[in-house]
Amino acid sequence: MKKKLFLLIFLFLVTGCSATYDIEIYNNTVKEDLEYIDSIPSNWDKEAQYGLTYRELVVESSNYPYPVFDSTVVDENDMIKIEGVEYYDNNLISDSNRLGQKLSYHQFTLDNFYDSSIVKKCYQYFSVLEEDNHIILSTSLENTCFDSYPSLDFITVNLKTNHKVVSNNADIVDGYHYTWNISRAEKEDAAILITLEKDEYIFNYENEFVKKVIYIAIIVGIILVVSSLVYVYFKNKRKRLNEI
């Protein structure tokens, strides 16, 4: 896919931005969310490119169709979605101190995540391999997003998973949350590497077990309450009939 993504490039050219890239790997499903944000309101209404302000570029970019898969071949200037092509959900972020865009796609599998347009934009090499009951996600060493977007200052990569993790090179590990903090100065040594157990999972991931117990308890409670009401109703009805 041709993926220069001109509008996104313009946005990163005109002002200093940070990007947050969130991944969730749950069983065989992968969810992907990318946010880029400018938090300096004084930048938003300055002329940026082609007579447009940063705010106008963000609004235009949030209406642009971005294909999910890197291997998809489309006209990069085409504003019309093509039937059969998967596109990111594209949403404008706009509040008092944040202006930017969010791209989301929640239907990857471990079999096709290697073809993510977002990851391939930032790394020349990205693979998702299955080996000896392990799932290995790895990238090349350099993050090239900083070359494409000269005003991009910082990228935060967050990954969470219900798979047990064998090894990783994350900067921060908090339970089943893994974070890589990548600055422009570190872009040449920004490889991401994590190895997961294919069939071993974390107990009570995102409080799943507790939620199931609570759900079952609620259902059982409702059944008991309804049963009690029915019992009392028929008991009283039988008592009234006996009195007659």
Q: Residue 113: pLDDT above 50?
A: yes
Which residue has better confidence, 239 or 223? 223
Asked if 21 and 157 touch (Cβ cutoff 8 Å), the reply is: yes
Residues 48-68 have pLDDT tens digits of: 666 788 888 888 888 889 999
Asked if 171 and 182 touch (Cβ cutoff 8 Å), the reply is: no
Q: In this predicted structure, what is the pLDDT of residue 233?
A: 64
Which region among 88-92, 143-147, 184-188, 235-239 has the lowest average model confidence (pLDDT)?
Answer: 235-239
In one-letter notation, the amino acid at residue 118 is I
Q: Residue 145: pLDDT above 70?
A: yes
CB count within 10 Å of CB 232 equals: 10
Which residue has better confidence, 25 or 41? 25
Interior CA angle at 37 toward 31 and 40, to 5°? 165
What three-state secondary structure class fits 58?
A: helix
Mean pLDDT of 76-86: 83
Residues near 46 by beta carbon (within 8 Å), at least 6 away in sequence = 14, 53, 54
What three-state secondary structure class fits 48?
A: strand
Mean pLDDT of 145-168: 90
β-strand 152-161 against 17-26: which pairing, if any? parallel
Please name every residue paired with 94 in a beta bridge, in sequence order, or none if there are none.
99
Distance CA 125, CA 104 (A): 21
- Name the band, by pLDDT with cuts 50, 70 and 90, for residue 9: very low
Mean pLDDT of 124-153: 91
**Rg, Å, the chain Cα set:** 25
Q: In this predicted structure, what is the pLDDT of residue 228?
A: 73
Residues 171-225 have pLDDT tens digits of: 999 999 999 999 999 999 999 999 999 999 998 776 554 555 565 667 767 777 7
Which residue has better confidence, 75 or 193? 193
In this prediction, what percent of the chain has a pLDDT beyond 90?
52
Which pairs with CB-CB distance under 8 Å and at least 24 residues apart come from 170-173? Answer: 170/194
Please name every residue paired with 159 in a beta bridge, in sequence order, or none if there are none.
23, 178
> 191: closest CA among 232, 140, 145?
140
Q: In this predicted structure, what is the pLDDT of residue 229?
A: 73
